[in-house]
Structure 1
Amino acid sequence: MGTEPAFLGWRAAMERALYGPGGFYLRERPGAHFRTSVHASPLFADAVARLLRRVDEALGQPAELALVDLGAGRGELLTGVLASAPPGLADRLRPCAVERAPRPAGLDPRIAWLAEPPTETVGLLFANEWLDNVPLDVVETDERGVARLVEVAPDGTERLGGPVEGADAAWLARWWPPTGRPGERAEIGRPRDLAWAAAVAGVSRGLAVAVDYAHLRARRPASGTLTGYRDGRVVPPVPDGSMDLTAHVAWDACAGPGSHTPTQRAALRALGVRGARPPLALASSDPAGYLRALRDAGEAAELTDPEGLGGFRWLLRPVGVDLPLAV
């Protein structure tokens, strides 16, 4: 007789598949499987560098300024910001990557590499597409209208488990209330709320920023958003360690008091990323400069496209300073 596959709730299955022994994020280079704003253009790192300068000014230019990249991948964003930072700032900058994977070879030695976020941060904490990979449970409404946990086997086979209870049931009722229609799905974002609150708590003064796929209570997707990415393609989510597993973030649930939640388009435009085409006269006076400006305009347009990356949400949480960005 065959052995029945081991079923787990999706939160436990995601944790094991992404971060367990031999998990996706410990073994794979994420940039080979999906493309973030960091990979799309160096203009994104330049914009973060400009935001960092504003945070530095809001803090009174401290002797040491932290830049914490939460969910750092292979350190691409920090590398880009270091390349863009002016000498007076770079000399005071203390860049720190937070990532569970081992430190990649050849990374700038100025970048500290930690498995957990530091505490007492004075500066900027930046989490680009981190929250969508914080594991969470999935629920489905059964034929009686009861929201039940979805359990999954390593091969992707699913079944319904017990009803949602306790703090998760309270979160669901407040932030993603089921309509009672059989087959409707929701994702319990409470682990993301707690993870973000803990990250913000590590900032003693400065600004905490999260950037991600998002949805709001008024327009939650009836079928949920859990999906997989492998080799640059969207694939059905299977918790076998071979793919990225991601779900969009319930942004309004994560946002705490004093938060600002602009779109990426609005945030980047406030940081000077606008995508305007260069004047045609530049093609005659400076052909190489015209081509560079044209390239930058195309990349800026991709970063700010409201139907693409520009539709991402930013979550800005100032701590002990005024918001250094007019959005």
Structure 2
Amino acid sequence: MGHVTDETCQWQGWREATERALYGPGGFYLRPEGPAGHFRTSVHASPLFAAAVARLLGEVAEELGTAEVDLVDVGAGRGELLTAVLAAVGPSLSVRAYAVERAARPDGLDPRVEWTDRVPRGVRGLLFANEWLDNVPADVAEADATGTARYVEVAPDGRERLGTPVTGPDADWLDRWWPLREPGARAEIGRPRDEAWAAAVASLAAGRAVAVDYAHLREARPPFGSLTGFRAGREVPPVPDGGCDVTSHVALDACAAAPDDGLPAPELVTQREALGRLGVSGGRPPLALASTDPAGYVRALASAGEAAELTARGGLGDFLWLTQRVPGSVHRPEGPGAPGPRGILAA
């Protein structure tokens, strides 16, 4: 990219710039290759992940006392998770599958999957959002030399400057969830993510909503934020020109507090613990199996390796799972559909 002068540069807040770069004309997430062409998620790491989601869906169906259940995949990529879950569920379960995504429906997708840019309302079942909230665009704030939190503005080539002071609801959010106390400290303002999650939870008539993501909690926020980029499997500087993913970790404790107070307390656990409950273990098979069933031993060893990747410390196992249960007795407000897969209302 050629040099862009300040006089001709279009400076924007990071939220607006990210929305344009990821979901505007020619945006990163609208490209044919989809997210799988640039980074590896748990969905792509192993079919064990989809099998675990299938077991979770079965648990939800049992709780609801039904053999007909909805499965909503928010931020569905190209439908990889839904395809694998539908293949993994048993014949006793009838699944209505919804892929919520801003990109066009991919060719060859299972015809049982309904493709939509809006979270459906009245869902009875499981709403699952794997690495969705980290791509809901958020503004970035930085404390100036006086300790005043200011919005960070960015140019299309990635250069930054400090803008106006953060005020209003964004300032309230920072005060509660991510105070900036030292000059140079930075934060991603997670309020749009809180709102997107609350709207997604509100779409459920009954069941569970689960968000899985890179995350941090209030007692251990990254001092300089976590904004970064990814392209073709590599971490790169976050440049909002449409050429790379622009993402940041999620303040999931703030998201957890966003839905209505009338719901049961949410749960936050690591992916390691969540998958362990669903039968995914990285333990090696017994060596004796190698002599009694060599082929079975090789299969079990491969499965253990995949499970180990999904539950690894310092890797995918450190992702957090936010679970919000919605009892059928809780009144869900009527209204328009919940926001689309990146937290922006579909047109």
Partner residue, 2:232: 231
Partner residue, 1:35: 40
Structure 1 residue 4: Cα displacement: 2.1
Check the 8 A contact 2:270/2:318 in 1, yes or no: yes
Partner residue, 2:289: 282
Partner residue, 2:219: 218
Check the 8 A contact 2:205/2:328 in 1, yes or no: no
| Alignment RMSD (CA, Å) | 1.3
Gaps of 5+ in 2: 330-347
Partner residue, 2:57: 52
Indicate yes or no: 2:17 matched with 1:10: no
Separation in 2, partners of 1:296, 1:216: 31
**Aligned-pair identity (%):** 66
Match of 1:88, SS state, is coil
2:274 to 256, 261, 267: 267
Structure 1 residue 306: Cα displacement: 2.1
1:69-126 CA distance string (max 9 Å, x none) = 000001111011011001121xx21011000000001100000000010000000000
Structure 1 residue 199: Cα displacement: 0.2
Separation in 2, partners of 1:99, 1:186: 27
1:239-260 CA distance string (max 9 Å, x none) = 0001111100001100035100
1:239-296 CA distance string (max 9 Å, x none) = 0001111100001100035100011000000000011111111111211111110000
Partner residue, 2:252: 251
Aligned length: 318
Partner residue, 2:82: 78
Structure 1 residue 321: Cα displacement: 6.2
Indicate yes or no: 2:326 matched with 1:319: yes
Partner residue, 1:124: 126
Separation in 2, partners of 1:42, 1:127: 17
Deviates more, 1:311-320 or 1:283-292: 283-292
Check the 8 A contact 1:186/1:222 in 2, yes or no: yes
Separation in 2, partners of 1:106, 1:288: 33
2:180 to 178, 181, 205: 178
1:159-216 CA distance string (max 9 Å, x none) = 110000100000000000111x221111100000000000000001000000000101
1:310 to 306, 317, 320: 317
Partner residue, 1:23: 27
Check the 8 A contact 1:58/1:321 in 2, yes or no: no
Question: Residue 321 and residue 273 in structure 1: after superposition, are their counterparts in 2 closer, same or farther (change >3 A)?
Answer: farther
Check the 8 A contact 1:229/1:243 in 2, yes or no: yes
Partner residue, 1:325: none
Separation in 1, partners of 2:53, 2:111: 20
Correspondence 1:50-199 to 2 at 5 A: 50-62=55-67, 64-89=68-93, 92-179=94-181, 181-199=182-200
Check the 8 A contact 1:265/1:311 in 2, yes or no: yes
Separation in 2, partners of 1:165, 1:123: 39
Gaps of 5+ in 1: 323-327
